[in-house]
Amino acid sequence: MSSSPIIRFKDVHKSFGSHNILKGLTFDVEKGRTLAIMGPSGTGKSVTLRHIVGLLQPDSGLVEVEGHDMAHIPQAEIAEMRTRMGFVFQSGALINWMTVADNLALPLRENTPLSEDEIARRVSEKLDWVHIADAAHKFPSELSGGMKKRVGLARALINDPDIILYDEPNAGLDPEIATAINRVICELTNNLSVTSIVVEHRIPCVKAVADEVIFLDEGRALLRDTPKNFFSSEHPRLVRFLGDQRDIPTTT
Ligand SMILES: Nc1ncnc2c1ncn2[C@@H]1O[C@H](COP(=O)(O)OP(=O)(O)OP(=O)(O)O)[C@@H](O)[C@H]1O
Ligand SMILES: [Mg+2]
């Protein structure tokens, strides 16, 4: 028996004014799997992730998370579900007047009965994971873009979530840190109980973490395949998108 999907999009349409972004997007992700989403800038990758956390609702079609129709679920239940989801925002989205440690501790203080000692332990554990233990007492304005990005990742992981959504977790990071972050993401995505979606342009990262990749273009999933098949696909639109990053199939 195949397990039912944790995240399901069925014929999702979404417009902003006259701007049609999603035009019949369909895909699903089963428990413990990692889906990568690739596609041109402005195609709706971040918009797709925002539907999963209930920040946006479809104009038509179905967005289902853990069996809940996200368009018809009470706000209180969305809030409860969000405590089990981690969302690494593309922008970082930190609260500027709180230290890094307080930014990380906030969801635990608000949503859990954990003691301050346990909260401090979890905060330093996550800061260690992303290699910025020394930033705990800094304010976001004192951090570089790459450091903010890593704090955003640590904050998304603070609840040990069941579902993690990464919106370009590596953007703006130098190669050494990007590799370290990839390692963290790999460890998390290889955990069979965590379901993940990774929006990512870096092909080595997609190959390292994803079970499947979809190519989002013109508001639809044009292609869905394993990373191996995806990066050697002959689909003309994907060939154009990947350019010289594409794997040329060898004939030997
Ligand atoms: N809240 C909103 N109101 C109006 N337009 C929006 C809103 N959110 C997104 N858009 C528009 O939807 C389109 C898709 O945006 P989205 O951020 O999902 O792109 P993306 O695929 O993530 O691109 P990138 O790779 O550059 O991050 C863009 O044209 C954007 O301007
Ligand atoms: Mg985006």
Percentage, residues of the chain above pLDDT 70: 96
| Residues facing residue 15 across a β-bridge | 20
Phi-psi region of 160 (alpha: psi -120 to 50; beta: other; left: phi over 0): left
* Residue from 37, 43, 170 whose mutation best tests the ligand 1 pocket (most atoms within 8 A of CB): 43
Q: Report the pLDDT averaged over residues 69-89.
A: 88
**Mean pLDDT computed over every residue of the chain:** 90
| Pairwise CA distance, residues 155 & 159, whole Å | 8
* Residue from 46, 49, 52 whose mutation best tests the ligand 1 pocket (most atoms within 8 A of CB): 46
Which of 1-10, 16-25, 162-171 is predicted with the least confidence, judged by mean pLDDT? 1-10
Say what the pTM is.
0.90
Which segment, 52-56, 90-94, 189-193, is predicted with the most confidence on average?
A: 52-56
Q: Which atom of ligand 1 is nearest to the CA of 48?
A: 18
Residue 44 Cα to ligand 1 midpoint, Å, equals 5
Q: Which pLDDT score is estimated for 248? A: 73
HSE-up (13 A, CA, CB side) for residue 42:
3
Residue 134 Cα to ligand 1 midpoint, Å, equals 34
pLDDT exceeds cutoff 60 at 252: no
pLDDT exceeds cutoff 80 at 250: no
Q: Ligand 2 (ion): which residues have CB within 5 A? A: 45-46
Phi then psi for residue 49, to 5 deg, are: -65, -40
**Residue range 10-65, pLDDT digits in tens:** 999 999 999 999 999 999 999 999 999 999 999 999 999 999 999 999 999 999 99
Q: Which pLDDT score is estimated for 215? A: 97
| Pairwise CA distance, residues 224 & 235, whole Å | 11
Q: Which pLDDT score is estimated for 149? A: 83
CA distances (Å), origin 84, targets 103, 126, 164, 165: 17, 16, 9, 11
Percentage, residues of the chain above pLDDT 90: 58
pLDDT exceeds cutoff 50 at 1: no
